[in-house]
Structures are given as structure tokens and as C-alpha cells.
Amino acid sequence: MNEKIIEILKTGKQERDIPRVVDELRQFEERELFRTLFNVSTRQQDFGTPVAMGAYAINQINPKCELPALEAFARLLPEWDISIEEVVFYLGKQFGRKASDAAIECLCLRDLDDESKTRLSTIRYWLDLLPDQLQREARMAVAARPPDSDEDEIRDFDRVRWMIRFYLRLPTKRVRIQDHGTNQIVYHDPVGEAWSLVIPKGGVEEGDRPFLYRYDGVLIGDDNIVVLRPLS
């Protein structure tokens, strides 16, 4: 594996770091990216290996897979964390549904232990979700734009999703809006301004989806002391 790629992956601590990490990784050759990212993202998660960030990166960069479909999907069976769907999305994009299904059918014929059988069924589950995921990613990419200085409320759902994933972050210490309900979460933007995510109590039906608004009022911490801006 390329240790320089590993070190770059380790600098990513949250989803907001993904675009920067991906940009830095594009300097490497496609072969190096595949061999390192696929090796990392199919491992068992531990504290020293950036498994999740490797999976995010391989899914977004989408380097050509050097392995046949059967061998590639088989690599997921020993250790892959079934909660990291990006690896399956990557393989699904590489091989298409027909070839992916054929590989899975071949793997089903093998003498697998219970953990491998669970992983195989989970692979099918994530492949079923891939078309919807690709549509969501496309919509979010179109909506990706930081708020203007005079823009105080964001209601476009795809843009809200982009801001939560890549633009805003949670404060290092928990803060809340004074006398707020339980349906609001406080984030901050790159310059420390507060944004509140409102989660409608009636659910996420059409017209009743979460939205963001810029919050200029009083913020307090868990100790009930006023929190000063900028937030960090």
C-alpha cells in the first residue's frame, strides 16, 4: 500500500473533510489509488486504519478496479464492515448490476461461514439502494453552494443535506438555543456563525422536511452559561 495515501486519509476526521481529502488524492496514479483504497476500505475498522475515509474516497474517485467482479466482491467477505456501503456502491458502479449479481450468485455456491453469509446478503441490500443513492448524490451535487451573506434560511432539502455533510460542523462543545425544543441542532459554518437545523416534529413528508436557518440569538452550553461567538 502507498503510505502517503494512508497519511492523507488519516487527516480526514469527518464528512466535511472528504472533498479536501479527495482533491489531495487525485495527484496519485489510478493504480496506486485502487490498490491502497480498496485494501483499506475492505478491512475491519480499528483505531489505526482510516477505513471509512478510504471507502468514501474510493467511491468518489472511482478508480478502475483491477480485479474481476467475482474476486472483488469476494474480498469483502472476510472483514468488510457491513455499515460502510460506499465500498459496495463503488463496485456496483464499476461492474453494473448484471455482472455484480452474477458474481454474488457464484459466491453463494461456496461453503461460507455465517459472517460471510451475512456480508453477502448485505452486499445485495446495498446494491438495491445504489440507483437511489446515485440520484441523491447527483441532486446534492447540483445544489452544492454555501449560503450568501444575506441568505438566512435554507429550505432546499438537497442543499441542506450538502451543508450538513460538507459545509457545517458541530461545535466542539455542545451548545443549544435558549428555551429551544428538542427538534433543533446547532451547527457552525467555517467562520463560526451559528446555524440551526430544525427537524419538523411531524416527520419528513413533502413540505415538512428539515431546514436550516442562521441563528443570531443567545446560545448556551450544558452549564447554562452563555456561549460566545465565533463558535469552534
pLDDT tens-digit readout, 97-153: 999 999 999 999 999 999 999 999 999 999 999 999 999 999 999 999 999 999 999
Give the C-alpha separation, 63 to 59, whole Å. Answer: 8
pLDDT of residue 183: 75
pLDDT of residue 204: 52
Give the C-alpha separation, 11 to 20, whole Å. Answer: 10
Q: Taking the model in full, what pTM does it have?
A: 0.81
Q: Which residues of the chain have pLDDT under 50?
A: 206
pLDDT of residue 206: 47
User: Is the bond preceding residue 230 a cis peptide, omega within 30 degrees?
Assistant: yes
